Structure 1
C-alpha cells in the first residue's frame, strides 16, 4: 500500500510533467503572420567609425560623420541613459536627420532604419523639440559692432578673406498661408519663407 511519501512524490512528478508539457506548448510559436519591422541589414552603430560611410552620411543625413558625432554628444547630455532600450540614441538622431533632410514620411524613415513607425515618430518629435529649444545656442545674430569685428577677424584668420563675415547661403521653407498672404508668394506661386544663413568661423549659425 503506498505511503504518504509515495503519494507526495507521485503528486510532485505529476505537477512537474504538467508544467513541462505546458511550457512545451507555450514555447512552440506559430510563424508570424504580420511582420511590420525588419532588422536592418547593416547595424547603423557600426557605420559611425567606418570612414567609407562618410559619403552616405553626407547624402542621407546632410552632415559628415564627425558632425554627426558632435551633434550626438551635444544632445546626449539632455536625455537620460536607458540601457533597456533596443535601439541606440545614435539611431534616433539619424532617423531625425534623415526625416528632416528628405521628403519622405515617417513610414519610409522607419523602414530605412529597421525600426517601427511609432518608435520613429516618438523619437523624431522628441529630438525636434529639443533642437528647437537649443536654437538660441546655435543660431545667434551679432548685436554689436564688436561682435561683428570678432567674426570678421576670425574669418580672416581661418579663410584668409578680409572684411568678410562668413559664408552665406539660404533656402525656401514652405509655410501655411498667413493672413496677409499677398506678399508671400515666390516666383513659382508657392507660399514660402526665405531663410538666409551666415556661417562664421565659430560654426555658429546667424539667421536672418
Structure 2
C-alpha cells in the first residue's frame, strides 16, 4: 500500500511538471509573436508641434512676456538660455523611428514646468502632447543632467579658511552673528509609498518620506546637503553618519582657528535648532522655561542667523512646487528631482537673485521688528511636502560645548556685541524671541 501511494504521488508530480513545461513553452511562443499595436502613435500626440505647450505658450512667452515667463519657469529668458547651454551637452537625444526627436530645449521646458508646478507627469503629457513614458524618461534624464552640469560649481562645500571666513563675515554683517559658518536643518520630503519599500520610508509623523539634511550660508544658498536617507531612520544616526558631521568632529573641515571677538575667544560654529546636539562647532538655543535675560538674548541673536535655513527651504518650496505634495515617483527619481531642484535654487540665487527672491520675499528685521517673508503665504504648512524633522540628538553635551555656547552668550550681552534693540525684543516677546 505504501508503494502504491508513493507511485501515485510520483505520477502526480510528473503530470504537474509536464503541464508546467507546456505552459512555459506556450508563453515563450507568445512572447516571440510580434506585438500588435492599435496605432503606432496617438493622433493627439502627432499634433505636438501644432498644439503642444512648448510650441505655443512657451514660444510666445519667451518672445513677448518676461513677467509671465518667469512665473512659467521660475527664471528669466536669459537665465533659461544660459541654463540650456550648460545642460544640453549632457543630454542624449535619440531619434525614434518615424518620429521627430524632442529637442533639448523642449526637454528642459517640460522638466522645469514639472518642477515648478508640482503637477503630475500625466498632466505634462496632456500639456506638451508627449507620451507618458517619454515624459518620465525626460524628467529623469534632465534632472540628472542638471545635477551633473551645476553641482560642482553652484553646490560646493568651502575647502579653505578664506572661503569659510567669507561666509562668516556675511553672517556677521547681515545677521549680527560672528563666526557663523552656516545654519543647519533637516526636512522630510513626502513621497508616495515606494514599491517594495515596506516600512523603511514610513516615518514617525505617519507618512512616507526621505530625509534631506542641509546647511546654508547667509545668502540663502545651500553649501552642503545629504539626500535620500530612509524616512524611518533615527534622525540622530542620519546626521551623525553624514560626511559633514564626521569631518567637523575630526576637525578636517579646514575651519579658521578661534579668535578673540569682543573680549571672547570664539570658534567658528554652525547654527542649529534644538533638534541638534550641542557641539564645540555647533551651537543651539538654551532650553527650558526659566532662562535668564542673558540666555534669552543669546537665543534671540542666534535665531536671527538660524532663520536663514528656514527661509532657504521656504523659498525653494515656494518657487519649486514639486514639494507641495507627496512626490509620485520611484525613490531613485525622487532623489534625482531633489538634487536638481537644490542645484537650480543655488544657480538662480547666485546668478539672478534679484528676480528669484525680490524684496520682501524672505523674512527681514528692521530695528528688531520682525517681518515675515512673502514665501510664507505661498507655502502653507498643511500642504507642503517638506516637513520638519524631530530631535536628532540627546540633551547630553560636553563641558567644552557648553563653554562655547556660554562664550557666545557673553559676547551677545557685552558692550561690543550687543545690538540696541535686543533687550526690547526679549522683554516684549520673551521666549518667542527665540
| TM-score grouping bracket, smaller chain normalisation | 0.5 to 0.7
- Evaluate the alpha carbon distance shift between residue 44 and residue 180 of structure 1 in structure 2; reply closer, same or farther with a 3 A threshold: closer
Does the aligned pair in 2 maintain the 1:172–1:194 contact within 8 Å? yes
Q: CA shift at 1:179, angstroms? A: 7.4
Query: Structure 2 matches for 1:69-88, cutoff 5 A?
Result: 69-79=81-91, 87-88=102-103
Q: CA deviation at 1:201?
A: 5.1
* Aligned residue number for residue 80 of structure 2: 68
Cα 1:64–1:165, aligned 2, differ >3 Å: closer, same or farther? farther
1:48 to 53, 59, 62: 62
Q: Is the 8 A contact 1:170 1:195 kept in 2?
A: yes
Measure how far apart 1:81 and its partner are.
7.9
Residue 170 of structure 1: CA displacement? 6.2
Which residues in structure 2 correspond to 1:101-180 (within 5 Å)? Answer: 101-134=116-149, 135-153=151-169, 155=170, 160-161=174-175, 163=178, 171-174=187-190
User: Structure 2 regions of 5+ residues with no counterpart?
Assistant: 1-41, 227-434
1:106–1:120: 8 Å Cα contact kept in structure 2? yes
Residue 91 of structure 1 and its aligned partner are, at CA, apart by 1.9
Residues 40, 113 of structure 1: 8 Å contact kept:
yes
Q: 2:214 aligns with which of 179, 190, 196?
A: 196
Q: Quick one: structure 1 residues 147 and 74, their matched pair in 2 at CA, closer, same or farther if it must change by over 3 Å?
A: same
CA distance in 1, matches of 2:182, 2:129: 39
TM-score by length of 1: 0.56
State the Cα distance separating 1:95 from its structure 2 match: 1.1
Q: In structure 2, the residue corresponding to 1:36 is in which secondary structure?
A: helix
**CA distances 1:101-147 after superposition (whole Å, capped 9, x unpaired):** 44433221122223333432332222122234343443222355432
CA distance 1:172–1:97, change in 2 (3 Å):
farther
Query: 1:72 Cα deviation (Å)?
Result: 1.6
Compared CA separation, residues 52 and 101, structure 1 to 2 (3 A): closer
Q: What SS is found at the alignment partner of 2:43?
A: coil
- After superposition, what is the alpha-carbon deviation per residue over 1:62-116, rounded to whole angstroms, capped at 9, x for unaligned? x222543332222023347899955442221121122234443322112222333
Q: Distance in 1 between matches of 2:62 and 2:222?
A: 24
Tell me if the contact between 1:166 and 1:201 (Cα under 8 Å) persists in the aligned partners.
no
Unpaired runs of at least 5, structure 1: 1-33
Say if 1:35 and 1:181 are closer, same or farther in 2 by CA, change over 3 A.
closer
**Cα contact 1:173–1:195 (8 A) shared by 2:** no
Structure 2 vs 1, CA of residues 46 and 197 (structure 1 numbering), >3 Å: closer, same or farther?
Answer: farther
Number of residue pairs matched? Answer: 166
Does the CA contact (< 8 Å) of 1:95 and 1:113 recur in 2? yes
